[in-house]
Structure 1
Amino acid sequence: MSEGRVYAASGLFVCFEGGEGAGKSTQSRLLKDTLESAGRTVVLTFEPGDTEVGQALRQIVLSPSTGELSHRTEALLYAADKAEHVDTVVLPALARGEVVITDRYVDSALAYQGAGRDLVVAEVEQVNRWATADLRPNLTVLLDLEPSAGLDRFAERDRIEGESLEFHQRVRQGFLDLAAADPEHYLVLDARADRDEIAAAIRTRVEGLLP
């Protein structure tokens, strides 16, 4: 879907994506600290669950006790979380001219519920673009990691982490396909590299986008 794309008119919207255990949370925090030390106002957020409504939705989609969900039900719950997140957290911060850094966004739905669940990716995208008013990140940082390496970092797994290795391999390929289709707005990095080297590469790319 290329028509109607919306990028932040003010502020800067940066998204971190990737599979389980790729280091998204770590790199998100490092970027936040770097930008704040340079005097920028930063909102660090995540999906699913960084709103009151989102917390309830997160419990449903991630708790192992939920059991099996219809794949379409799961996709719609994630989309609902995104709608609330964008309307109440992301857009207000961007309107204030702030930098928004999110750990996961629409690409996660396309990779997990689309490629991973074998739903029609175009249909999952249509729902999620509507839910987010087609707001796109100025930059998506994809931390790429072989699923077996990432999953080994978890002693306990939530409902999605507990899916098969084949599922997570489809998810990984889904992310890589998204990045390959729009290289201008992606930075793909090997998540096995040194943490500080990854952070430096991200910082360099983001500095070139700051208003």
Structure 2
Amino acid sequence: MVKKKTPRLPRGVFVTFEGIDGSGKTTQAKLLYEALKEESRSVVLLREPGGTPVAEQIRSILLEERSEPLSPRAEILLFLASRAQLVEQAVIPALQAKKIVILERFIDSTTAYQAYGRGFSPQWVEKLNRWSACEIQPDLTIELRVPVKVGLDRKKEDLPDRIEKEGKAFEEKVFKGYLKIAKRHRRIRIMDGTPPPAEVAKGVRKLVDDYLKKVEK
């Protein structure tokens, strides 16, 4: 049996996963990464905040509980700092090497959580997002959409981080923010995140495969 040759991409492809807490981003990003690796694709899996040693240190400041409360302004600036480090040190080099970059959370998370959740101007936040991301945009964004109650129920067994402790009212604002964001960007594809992970993964894979076919033409 002749092994099917893995197509070579003419350029890097940038895929991001978005959604409220408990929507299944971590699971689906990992499943997609593993599936592409099995096909001998050149792919990297990253997360935000985090993804590099410096960015991971910033992540711990953002998500761990501390005696000193973190102000909303400091919070958004730390997210932007983490992103700038991740993009320059990991994302851009991988894309330049024609790899598929899978990133759990990116600019849309900052708009949803810090603009719609915290109350900052969405237009102002999106300008900061573009600057911190060196003006790069995802090729494909998969938003895993689940009701807020479903997301909260899924996270009950996990030890919540600082932001996850904000509660239902905050998550409702974030959810509504994602609805508005999705209407403004054609790169965003909505995927129902409520079915079992394996079923969701099939839908995710179809979205990614369809996009890769366009790039490989």
Structure 1 length-normalised TM: 0.91
* More displaced 10-residue stretch of structure 1: 123-132 or 78-87: 123-132
Task: Tell me if 1:113 matches 2:134.
Answer: no
Mapping of residues 15-164 of structure 1, within 5 Å: 15-65=16-66, 67-152=68-153, 153-155=155-157, 156-164=159-167
Deviation at 1:196, TM superposition (A): 2.0
Query: What letter corresponds to residue 184 of structure 2 in structure 1?
Result: A
* 8 Å contact from structure 1 (residues 18, 24) kept in 2: yes
For residue 211 of structure 2, what is the aligned residue in structure 1? Answer: 209
Structure 2: 5+ residue runs without aligned partners? 1-9
Q: Are the structure 2 counterparts of residues 27 and 66 from structure 1 closer, same or farther at C-alpha, using a change threshold of 3 Å?
A: farther
Deviation at 1:185, TM superposition (A): 0.9
Query: What letter corresponds to residue 173 of structure 2 in structure 1?
Result: R
* 8 Å contact from structure 1 (residues 60, 66) kept in 2: no
2-structure distance, mates of 1:174, 1:51: 28
Q: CA RMSD in A?
A: 1.4
Deviation at 1:65, TM superposition (A): 1.6
For residue 172 of structure 2, what is the aligned residue in structure 1? Answer: 169
User: Residues 29-82 of structure 1: CA distance to partner in whole angstroms, max 9, x if unpaired?
Assistant: 111122122221110000112111112211111112255222111111100000
- The count of aligned residue pairs is 202
Structure 1: 5+ residue runs without aligned partners? 1-8
Q: Which has the larger radius of gyration?
A: 2
Mapping of residues 187-198 of structure 1, within 5 Å: 187-198=189-200
Q: Are the structure 2 counterparts of residues 120 and 66 from structure 1 closer, same or farther at C-alpha, using a change threshold of 3 Å?
A: farther
Structure 2 length-normalised TM: 0.89
User: Residues 8-47 of structure 1: CA distance to partner in whole angstroms, max 9, x if unpaired?
Assistant: x821100001111111111011111221222211100001
